């Protein structure tokens, strides 16, 4: 019974490249949440998705960031034209539903922009 799987664990990108972070939720979970942890700060909510729907993207930066959770396959957080300030740990969590259900977190992807 695998937990929430994120890959890659570590990702290095040069400024201007694209970064794709993947999150496979736990089996039976259809709700996915992405968080970002900047250096020396706590995790901050970015986006909440259900299968094929973005429910709440109020924490997403307005430009260069996008997220999807297709009917089949993992959820993807995509960062275009990365900048040094995008260097952070990105965590994904999943839950079975929204009502009184614990969210389970993945190990995170550490993105370094050089």
Chain contacts with other proteins (rule: CB under 8 A): 3-4, 6, 33, 35, 37, 40-45, 48, 56, 58-59, 91, 93, 98-108
What's the min distance (Å) between Cβ of 58 and other proteins? 8
Check the CA dihedral 27-33-36-41 and report its sign.
negative
Q: How far is the CB of 25 from other proteins (least distance, A)?
A: 12
Q: Which residues pair with 91 in a beta bridge?
A: 35
Taking the least distance from each CB to other proteins, the nearer of 1 and 100 is 100
Q: According to DSSP H, which parts of the chain are helical?
A: none
By beta-carbon proximity to other proteins, the closer residue of 45 and 76 is: 45
* Distance of closest approach, residue 11 Cβ to other proteins, in angstroms: 17
Complex with other proteins: residue 74 or 106, whichever CB lies closer:
106
Please answer whether residues 102 and 31 qualify as being in contact, where contact means their C-beta atoms are separated by less than 8 angstroms.
Answer: no
C-beta of 33 vs 113, nearer to other proteins:
33
In the block, tokens 């998705």 appear at 49
Q: Shortest distance, CB of residue 26 to other proteins, whole angstroms?
A: 10
Half-sphere exposure of residue 67, counting CA atoms within 13 Å on the CB side?
29
């Amino acid at each position: 019974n695998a937990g929430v799987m994120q890959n890659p664990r570590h990702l290095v990108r040069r400024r201007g490249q694209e970064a794709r972070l993947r999150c496979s939720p736990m089996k039976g979970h259809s709700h996915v949440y992405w968080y970002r942890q900047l250096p020396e700060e706590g995790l901050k909510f970015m986006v909440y998705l259900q299968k094929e729907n973005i429910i709440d993207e109020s924490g997403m930066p307005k430009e260069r960031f996008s997220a999807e959770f297709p009917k089949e396959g993992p959820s993807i957080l995509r960062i275009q034209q990365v900048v040094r300030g995008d260097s952070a740990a990105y965590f994904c969590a999943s839950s079975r539903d929204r009502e009184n259900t614990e969210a389970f977190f993945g190990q995170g992807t550490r993105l370094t922009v050089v």
